[in-house]
Structure 1
Amino acid sequence: MSGNLTMHKYSRFFARPELPYYLIIWSTLFLCALGLTMVLSASTVTSLSESGNTYSIFIKQFFFLIIGGFGFYWSHRVRGLIWPKIARYSLSISIIILLLPFIPNLGKNINGNRNWIEIAGFTLQPSEFAKFGLILWCALQLRKIGDAPSKLKNFLRLLPGLFVIEILILFGNDLGTALLVLIIFVGVLFISGAPMKLFAAIGVFGVVIGSAFVLSSNYRMGRFAALFDPFDERYYKFAGWQPAHSIMGLASGGLWGSGLGASKQKWANLAEAHTDFIFSVIGEELGLLGTLLVLALYAALIYSILRVALKTKDDFSRYVTAGVACWLIAQITINVGSATSLVPVIGVTLPLISYGGSSLLANLIAIGYVLGVARRTPEIADGIKASRLRKINQ
């Protein structure tokens, strides 16, 4: 009897319409706090070697977190009617900012990728903002299609926008981001009910272009070869170095971890420990329980975003919200897969946790948008009001 009462209590709790709103807020706050802590822990060695200051990378991340907090609040509170107006120009804006890295004295080449710009000592990655810009533009076009999702020609007009974005990203030699943008685009189309013929065409395009880029680079070929056994003598000191030491870090953490700040792999063994491989540092210092906590927070965030997408009645809001969910799912899967050697290393950050001002700012603006959609959805808004009244009456 008591078990049935407990089940009924929990089922009522998860059925509350306001739950996604609060889960988005708290999961985002916890992930940002954990990310800032782990960036401090994972970046000290790199900061000291690059600038002579142990806290230089942490300070930059904290600075962008503050800016991102303002962006999160703005996108949460701004009127919903503004977003379709922004979406009209978001593709053009995305194209313009993707051209910035090719401007002399502004663009910056990092690890062979020319997809960065440097302003006043800060490096920014325009492609992070282009992801959200493409989602907004696609959502607006899909809303115009309306109730005729079965007609292939209606969806074909989205492809030129995708091609331009992909070409500019690939010109910067950033295959990882190009793949991520393609996955986001396919996810949005799938949710909108696009015909399967279109997915087949996009799949063939993606395989051909991706294969051409991989086969034309010995380093990328090495990354694929090292995927199956990064400890192999042929790859260990080359393409297998990062995934091998990432696995070492995760394995040495055990259940409880070695303790915050006690990672050994970050001492020049694991390159990009504070960016692409921060999940490995979490596993080493906080153990299996720490990694499971991170995955649980992401699960709560994505679950809440998808619930908001299902609750909203506005097609534009639904497509954008679902697109943000696809973005997070794809990026988290690729990053964690790279850290655990389940997918090749392609240089993708862990949302809200990895060091990177552009990624953090773009993620917070996008999540803030979803929170704004939740606030404007009548069912969720009524639930928020009821929750506040219950707290006042208690």
Structure 2
Amino acid sequence: MKKYKEALKSLDLGLFITVLLLIGVGLISVTSASYPVGSKTFGDGLYFGKRYFTFMIVGFFGMLIAYKFPRKFFKRYSFILFCGTIILVLMLFIPKFTNYSRGSGRWLNLPFLPLIQPSDFVKISSILYMGKILAENRYKLYKREVFFKIIAIIGIATLPVMLKDLSTGFVIGATLLLMYIVAGISMHQFVTLCGIGIIVLIPMVFKYAYRLERILGFLNSSKGSLDQNYQINQSLYAIAMGGVGGVGYFHSRQKYFNLAEAHNDFIFSVICEEFGMIGGIFVVALFFIFTYRGLRIASRTKNNYDKYVAVGLTSYIGMQAVINICVGVGIFPVTGITLPFISYGGTALIMAMIAAGFLLKISKDV
């Protein structure tokens, strides 16, 4: 009993409870938002809710492994993990292994395994490896060879992902850049990296017509076609119908095939419709608390590696939440990025929970 009390005392309870609440919101929200498509496609309205619960159980095991394993193990083998996840991303360019959904080949279809989204693995592996490189070169960041090495890591982590999923690639790149800033990037290095990023983003946007159409439709929403702005408009209708207190759990009308991916990309809109402004504020507050606790852990770490990794893990989840919510309320153009812990998606949920496990492990030694 004393052993368990000591374990709880060393655990960041604020972060742990926040993660549990986010997962709880995800379970009830996915169950409701996915009911129409589950009924129509699989003859079971609870199909996606049950699968979310299964992913959640796997995620808890992943969180436990991240919490129990020595951090030195992940630091030592971070390069191998990084290379392995990049290979998985590159396999997406082999049609034999790619599963296409909505015209996007983001999922690997490997024999005897469920569909996985390799970019979610890259989020964690790139943070672990970047943290190691930054910590090892803490006092040599000004050197040209170190700068080139960091550029190479960011490029390898983001470019293959961006070709398949622009928004996820952006989140990975921005996260690694934030880690570099915390480590002590110089102004000319920052300007150079931003310039390279802009040069890379322009052809990535123009590569696919739908990406450009979404951005142009968003920027010129008053004159954009109904097709260009349909998803944002439907999302705003859902939020408006929720009012202050919402229409009630399971009573959303927009989830009935008006909202694309209601249980995934636009789940925040369904939450606002069913639970109103109160529900929306509650979710935003949970992500704010998560980000605060994560950065607090980073600021109190005893070594640079833990600091950079904590900043990276917190930033990727916080940034992804901001983008998803801003898309839902019409501040950003539509992207296919999920709301961490809440949106349906096995790989995304499991990796977010593993990220939380790493943060809890770091907090244990603060």
Instruction: Indicate which of 293, 300, 304 corresponds to 1:311.
Output: 300
Q: CA deviation at 1:20?
A: 7.8
Structure 2: distance between partners of 1:25 and 1:279: 22
Structure 1: distance between partners of 2:104 and 2:197: 20
Instruction: Structure 1: give runs of 5+ residues left out of the alignment.
Output: 1-17, 378-394
Q: CA deviation at 1:311?
A: 0.8
Hey, what does 1:380 align to over in structure 2?
none
Instruction: Indicate which of 135, 138, 143 corresponds to 1:146.
Output: 138
Q: CA deviation at 1:150?
A: 3.6
Cα distance change on mapping 1:256 and 1:290 into 2, 3 Å: same
Hey, what does 2:86 align to over in structure 1?
95
| Structure 2 counterpart SS, 1:115 | strand
Instruction: Indicate which of 244, 253, 262 corresponds to 2:251.
Output: 262
Q: CA deviation at 1:229?
A: 5.7
Cα distance change on mapping 1:53 and 1:105 into 2, 3 Å: farther
Verify: 1:33 aligned to 2:35, yes or no. no
Instruction: Indicate which of 221, 225, 236 corresponds to 1:235.
Output: 225
Q: Provide the TM-score with structure 2 as the length reference.
A: 0.93
Structure 2: distance between partners of 1:83 and 1:313: 17
Instruction: Indicate which of 104, 113, 118 corresponds to 1:113.
Output: 104
Contact 2:248 / 2:275 at 8 angstroms: preserved in 1? yes
Structure 1: distance between partners of 2:220 and 2:256: 23
Hey, what does 1:213 align to over in structure 2?
204
Contact 1:312 / 1:318 at 8 angstroms: preserved in 2? yes
Contact 1:222 / 1:235 at 8 angstroms: preserved in 2? no
Cα distance change on mapping 1:246 and 1:299 into 2, 3 Å: same
Cα distance change on mapping 1:129 and 1:372 into 2, 3 Å: same
Hey, what does 1:124 align to over in structure 2?
116
Contact 1:106 / 1:117 at 8 angstroms: preserved in 2? yes
Structure 1: distance between partners of 2:54 and 2:97: 21
Please give the per-residue CA displacement for 1:50-100, whole angstroms capped at 9, x wherever unaligned: 212212211211111100000011111212221211213222112122123
Instruction: Structure 2: give runs of 5+ residues left out of the alignment.
Output: 1-8
Structure 1: distance between partners of 2:107 and 2:190: 31
Contact 1:305 / 1:321 at 8 angstroms: preserved in 2? yes
Structure 1: distance between partners of 2:196 and 2:284: 32
Hey, what does 2:180 align to over in structure 1?
189
Q: CA deviation at 1:19?
A: 9.4
Verify: 1:376 aligned to 2:365, yes or no. yes
Q: CA deviation at 1:235?
A: 2.0
Kindly provide the amino acid, as one letter, of the partner of residue 85 in structure 1: R
Kindly provide the amino acid, as one letter, of the partner of residue 257 in structure 1: G
Contact 1:20 / 1:307 at 8 angstroms: preserved in 2? no
Tell me the C-alpha RMSD between the 2 structures.
Answer: 1.8
Q: CA deviation at 1:104?
A: 4.2
Structure 2: distance between partners of 1:47 and 1:123: 18
Hey, what does 1:23 align to over in structure 2?
14
* Residues 285-300 of structure 1: pairs in structure 2 closer than 5 A: 285-300=274-289
Structure 2: distance between partners of 1:196 and 1:48: 54
Please give the per-residue CA displacement for 1:113-138, whole angstroms capped at 9, x wherever unaligned: 21211355732101001111000110
Instruction: Indicate which of 61, 68, 71 corresponds to 2:52.
Output: 61
Contact 2:245 / 2:277 at 8 angstroms: preserved in 1? yes
Hey, what does 1:302 align to over in structure 2?
291
Q: Which moved more, 1:31-40 or 1:215-224?
A: 215-224
Structure 2: distance between partners of 1:19 and 1:229: 51
Report how many aligned residue pairs link the two structures.
357
* Residues 241-390 of structure 1: pairs in structure 2 closer than 5 A: 241-377=230-366
Contact 2:238 / 2:272 at 8 angstroms: preserved in 1? yes
Kindly provide the amino acid, as one letter, of the partner of residue 154 in structure 1: V
Contact 2:63 / 2:357 at 8 angstroms: preserved in 1? yes
Contact 1:152 / 1:198 at 8 angstroms: preserved in 2? no
Hey, what does 1:392 align to over in structure 2?
none
Structure 2: distance between partners of 1:163 and 1:288: 40
| Structure 2 counterpart SS, 1:109 | strand
Larger Cα-atom Rg: 1
Q: CA deviation at 1:154?
A: 2.1
Cα distance change on mapping 1:104 and 1:117 into 2, 3 Å: same
Identity rate, percent? 29
Hey, what does 2:5 align to over in structure 1?
none
Contact 1:257 / 1:286 at 8 angstroms: preserved in 2? yes
Contact 1:20 / 1:308 at 8 angstroms: preserved in 2? no
Verify: 1:170 aligned to 2:159, yes or no. no
